[in-house]
Structures are given as structure tokens and as C-alpha cells.
Amino acid sequence: MASRKVDHLLIGGGLAAANCARWLREGGGEGSILLVGREPDPPYNRPPLTKGYLQAKEAREEVLFRPDEWWEEQNIELMLRTSVMKLDAEQRLARLSTKEEIEFGNVLLATGSNVRRLQVDGCELDGIHYMRTFGNSTALRAEADRVERVAIIGGSYIGTEIAASLTAAHGNKCAMLMLEDVTLERQFGKEIGGYFQGVLQQHGVDIHGGQEIDHFEGSGGRVERVVTKSGLEIDCELVVIGIGVTPDVTLAKSAGLEIGQAGGVLCSAQLESSVPGIFTAGDICEYDSPVHGRQIRIEHWDVAFNQGKTAGLNMLGRGVEHDVVPYFFSDLADWTSMEYVGPGTGDPVVRGSLDADDFTAFYVKDGRVVAALTVGRSDDLETAKRLMVSRARVDPAALADESQDLGSL
Ligand SMILES: Cc1cc2nc3c(=O)[nH]c(=O)nc-3n(C[C@H](O)[C@H](O)[C@H](O)COP(=O)(O)OP(=O)(O)OC[C@H]3O[C@@H](n4cnc5c(N)ncnc54)[C@H](O)[C@@H]3O)c2cc1C
């Protein structure tokens, strides 16, 4: 027996669900909206957790998706610290951790990602941090001021941003350890990853590539050392682990939704899952991209934001396709910042100068631009998007040649 009924149920209190709620209202929806989220905080933006908020430059209020009163003004009900335990797709029922049952008209599933955990000896010691939530960043920010040496495990966005923020704002001496040889190599290749590694090193971050963690050592229950399989030992007072995330599709799987090859919930271009009336957005959404011509799943802020909008409009019956080219940004303190468009990887063709911190790398595969990364040349991303959408063939030499006008390509 359902205890109550809502028109739109939004599961997960992250950005995708928040922006979906907003667009349900901005799109003219007047039905009841209930957003159920596991975390104690109302929806917020995660990017500042490794940037401005971690550097103590941004306050909590600036990180929130909307001020506290906005939810009430919009007549959107927030249920925080509450999990959806079961989703019955056929009966259109959700069971909550409060034991309440909610009958819904349609539902957004936006359960995001969980961090991957490092299971090695010593991993339970105090002073070992992960980074996903407001609470994680608040705890790290407070502890960083009390210590000097920090070991960061993982050389991707989270690791590189944290290393920069802790060095720049908290004066920590950071050592980064990672499986790959060069930071961000898996995302952008060795040459471009090497640019970001160089920036970190210039600012005093020690980088140890090709290292697999064997165990942590400590005393009095607190971490004091990282030891790698090759025998490298790094003394530290604090460890931060950023070794990737996995989409949280537990609820989706138990509800019988189809899962795609990239591990997300398989959706149409309108972000509707294999069960009509069940939509997804954000990190778990593996959708049929009309722009890129295949199923893709992307874990980016901007993607979660835009998909929340598309899903919200479609929950109002608009039938909109999600035709946005994925966009990503990352900052290393105020040392450098990058922007990236596209879901693909290919061979980088560099236009401009890495040494001058002024370049765009166009990633080319089978003669077509499939992604682009820029430092200092945001306008180039518009060209890159145009080339991606049109699927035009390009001459790599012309892309690299600064004397040729990009617009003419
Ligand atoms: C520290 C950090 C920095 C980042 N920086 C950048 C950046 O610079 N640029 C960029 O493009 N991207 C960045 N990202 C990625 C971006 O923030 C994510 O892709 C985005 O937050 C995904 O949004 P989401 O709503 O899909 O999921 P999430 O933000 O993960 O939200 C999902 C929410 O659902 C809740 N939930 C899960 N299961 C249930 C359940 N059964 N019942 C109730 N609630 C549930 C979770 O607890 C969580 O609160 C960053 C991510 C992190 C963690």
C-alpha cells in the first residue's frame, strides 16, 4: 500500500536531479516533485570540492546548487539523508529507507557514482581520505592545515586538482603516486598529460609514475607512510586517494533496467531507460547520442547539468533529444586551467605552444575531430564542436598550422 503519491520522483540529490527539478518547474510543470537524496546536504556542485572550497576561497553557500529557501519557493520537496531502497518499475513504487512508499507518475534515476576504494593493508588507518562529498572536502580542508606532507594516490583530475589546491592554499608538500607514467595520460595522452605534470612539478609537487600501492604503514592508528610494490616509501601525515569512480547502478539493476556496455543505464536519446517513464541523467546515464552517433556515458559536471534539463523537459512530455556535445573543465589552483569537449580520444594534433601555456589539442581519429582540449583558447572549442557535429574530415597539418584560419576548416 503506497503511503503517498507524487507526480515526479527524483532519486539522488546530486546536480542532475537538482537541475531536473529546476527544469520541471521552468518547463511549466505544476505537478508535485519529490527529490530524495542520501546525503545530508541539499544539492551542491562538486567541482569546487577540489578547487575553491578546498582552498577555503569559496563558502558553503557558494557551492550549493540553490540557496536553501529556493526549494520551498519552487514547491519542490527535499528529503535528505534518505535512500531509495527499492524501485518497482511495474507498480511505479519506490520504497524509502524511512519505510515510506512513494507512488510516482514518472521518475528520474540520478544516483551518480561511488568512489573506488583501495583495498590494501593499512587502508583503514586514520588520515586516509577520499573525495566525493562536501563532508570529504570539509574534513580534508581542516586536516590539511594541521599537517605538512601529503601523499596523493592517483594522477587523474581529482588527484591533480587536490595536489594543486593543497600546495597553493595550505602550503602542503605533496607527493603524487600513480599507476600511469604521466598525470592525466589516460585521458589526454602522454604529451598533453605531460604538460599538466610539468605545471605541478614547477610548483613543487613530487610525482612518482608507474607505482602500484602495496600497503600503508602507521602508528597509533594513524597513517605515516605509503609503500609501493616496487619498494618506494613516501613518508606522509595525510593520504588522499583519487583512483576513479564507478556508476552507482545498484537500484537500476534491481529494478530490472537494461545496463549498457559502459556500465550505465541504457537510455534513448531522450534519456528514457528501457522502462517507459523511468529517465536517467548524470554519471549513470548511458544514452544514444544523436551528435556522436553511438551510446556514450560521461562523468562530467556539465553533462549532469544539461542532462538534468533534458530529462526534466521529457518528464513533461516534450520529447527532446539530448544533442549537447559533452564539455569538461579542470583547474590546477590558479596555475593553469583547461577545457575539454567531446566524448572521444584520438591522436592529439597541437595548435599553439605548450611552453607558452597557450594551445589547443585536437584529438583526431579516422580523419575526424573527436575531442579537443584547450589551455587559454576557449574559442577553439567552438570550432572543435562544429567539426564534431558535422563529422567533417580534417587535415591534421592544417589544424596544427597557426597561419591557417581555423574557421575556414
Ligand atoms: C570532487 C569532484 C570534483 C569534480 N570536478 C569536476 C570538474 O572540475 N569538472 C567536471 O566537469 N566534473 C567534475 N566532477 C564530476 C561531476 O561533479 C559529476 O560528474 C557530477 O556531480 C555527477 O552528477 P550526478 O547528479 O550524476 O551524480 P552525483 O553528484 O554523484 O549525485 C548522486 C547523488 O545520489 C545519491 N544517491 C545514490 N543512490 C541513492 C539512493 N538509492 N537513494 C537516494 N540517493 C542516492 C548519492 O548519494 C549522491 O548524492 C567532479 C566530481 C567530484 C567528486
Q: What is the mean pLDDT of residues 356-374?
A: 96
pLDDT in tens, 264-309: 999 999 999 999 999 999 999 999 999 988 999 999 999 999 999 9
- The yes-or-no verdict on residue 1 having pLDDT over 90 is no
Mean pLDDT, the chain, integer: 96
Ligand 1 geometric centre to CA of 23 (Å): 18
pLDDT in tens, 209-219: 999 999 999 99
Ligand 1 geometric centre to CA of 367 (Å): 34
How confident is residue 409, by pLDDT bands cut at 50, 70 and 90? Answer: confident
- The yes-or-no verdict on residue 57 having pLDDT over 80 is yes
Ligand 1 geometric centre to CA of 156 (Å): 16
Q: Which residue has the cell 589551455?
A: 375
How confident is residue 405, by pLDDT bands cut at 50, 70 and 90? Answer: confident
Segment (H or E) for 189: helix 185-202
Contact 207, 199 (CB under 8 A): no
113 CB near ligand 1 (under 6 Å): yes
Q: Across the strands, what pairs with 346?
A: none
- The yes-or-no verdict on residue 407 having pLDDT over 90 is no
C-alpha cell read off for 65: 546548487
Nearest CA to ligand 1 atom 35: 12
- The yes-or-no verdict on residue 225 having pLDDT over 60 is yes
Ligand 1 geometric centre to CA of 350 (Å): 32
How confident is residue 102, by pLDDT bands cut at 50, 70 and 90? Answer: very high
pLDDT in tens, 139-197: 999 999 999 999 999 999 999 999 999 999 999 999 999 999 999 999 999 999 999 99
pLDDT in tens, 109-130: 999 999 999 999 999 999 999 9
Phi, psi values for residue 85, rounded to 5°: -90, -30
Q: How many residues in total does the chain contain?
A: 409
Ligand 1 geometric centre to CA of 232 (Å): 33
Ligand 1 geometric centre to CA of 303 (Å): 11
166 CB near ligand 1 (under 6 Å): no
50 CB near ligand 1 (under 6 Å): yes
107 CB near ligand 1 (under 6 Å): no
- Residue 372: how many CB atoms within 10 A of its CB? 29
Q: What is the pLDDT of residue 126?
A: 97
Closest ligand 1 atom, residue 85 Cα: 41
11 CB near ligand 1 (under 6 Å): yes
Q: Which of 46, 240, 257 to mutate to test the pocket of ligand 1 (most atoms within 8 A of CB)?
A: 46
Q: What is the mean pLDDT of residues 13-24?
A: 98
Query: What is the distance between the alpha carbons of residues 11 and 29, in angstroms, rounded to a whole number?
Result: 18
Q: What radius of gyration do the chain's Cα atoms show? A: 22
Ligand 1 geometric centre to CA of 51 (Å): 15
Residue at 401: amino acid letter? D
83 CB near ligand 1 (under 6 Å): yes
How confident is residue 345, by pLDDT bands cut at 50, 70 and 90? Answer: confident
- The yes-or-no verdict on residue 2 having pLDDT over 80 is no
Q: Which of 85, 111, 134, 337 to mutate to test the pocket of ligand 1 (most atoms within 8 A of CB)?
A: 111
Nearest CA to ligand 1 atom 50: 47
Query: What is the distance between the alpha carbons of residues 251 and 8, in angstroms, rounded to a whole number?
Result: 17
Query: What is the distance between the alpha carbons of residues 104 and 16, in angstroms, rounded to a whole number?
Result: 19
Nearest CA to ligand 1 atom 53: 132
Ligand 1 geometric centre to CA of 13 (Å): 9
Nearest CA to ligand 1 atom 45: 12
Ligand 1 geometric centre to CA of 185 (Å): 23
Three-state DSSP at 222 gives: strand
Closest ligand 1 atom, residue 113 Cα: 30
| End-to-end CA separation in angstroms for the chain | 62
Residue at 228: amino acid letter? T
Q: Across the chain, which distance is largest between two alpha carbons, in Å? A: 70
- Residue 50: how many CB atoms within 10 A of its CB? 27
How confident is residue 39, by pLDDT bands cut at 50, 70 and 90? Answer: very high
48 CB near ligand 1 (under 6 Å): no
Q: What is the mean pLDDT of residues 10-18?
A: 97
112 CB near ligand 1 (under 6 Å): yes
Nearest CA to ligand 1 atom 4: 47
Q: What is the pLDDT of residue 365?
A: 93
- The yes-or-no verdict on residue 344 having pLDDT over 90 is no
